[in-house]
Structure 1
């Protein structure tokens, strides 16, 4: 699956760059982190602590908490967290 941002007739803020597990990713400033990660091809955000199954964004409105990740050392919901320049995202160690 390939995800892309709509570009025709859409004005977006300037792109910012942030780090995801050591890889540089760019996205429009303020875009929800879950969206930026999906467009970058990162659909699995963590593994279930119960059975190790892959987990990712589900509701995209903050209800399910399936998209929790670590941002700058804090556990946050990716769907509710706007991207900003210089943030550090860790997908590997969240909630383990």
Structure 2
């Protein structure tokens, strides 16, 4: 893990937790069982979780409490899962969100959506 607090100035030394492996965009990472996927990705230095569907601009964690939907990813084939409220478990496969196909973007632009 690259960016994880293990000794907090107020909470002290944090207890050991069970490590699990998961993949994000075909690369393997470690997290702690039960922590949010967003926390595990942040601890591994991942800041971009998806790109905007139309513009392709990077998106990441914004509210981190499940309200804004900015952290949507594909988890085990389920599209639109929020990384901030999805617990990490051993072997989950996560894919970042990508832009919509050009035909969908063009349809939306031409139909005022």
For the criterion TM > 0.5, the same-fold answer is yes
CA distance in 2, matches of 1:52, 1:21: 17
Find the aligned partners of 2:49 and 2:14 in 1 and give their Cα distance: 27
Alignment-derived partner of residue 86 in structure 1: 91
For the pair shown, which has the larger CA radius of gyration, 1 or 2? 2
Deviation at 1:22, TM superposition (A): 1.3
Question: What is the 5 A alignment of 1:1-96?
Answer: 4-8=3-7, 9-75=13-79, 76-93=81-98, 96=100
Q: CA deviation at 1:50?
A: 2.6
Instruction: Kindly tell me the number of residue pairs found equivalent between the two proteins.
Output: 93
- 8 Å CA contact 1:21–1:92 kept in 2: the answer is no
Note the alpha carbon deviations across 1:57-93, whole angstroms, 9 max, x for none: 1000000000000000002000000000000001154
Q: Secondary structure at the match of 2:84?
A: helix
Identify which of structures 1 and 2 has the higher relative contact order when contacts are C-alpha pairs closer than 8 Å and 6+ apart.
Answer: 1
Structure 1 CA distance for aligned equivalents of residues 53 and 66 of structure 2: 19
Unaligned runs of 5+ in 1: none
Give 2:108's aligned residue.
Answer: none
TM-score (norm 1): 0.89
Give ranges in structure 2 of 5+ residues lacking alignment: 8-12, 101-113
Instruction: Give the TM-score taking structure 2 as reference length.
Output: 0.76
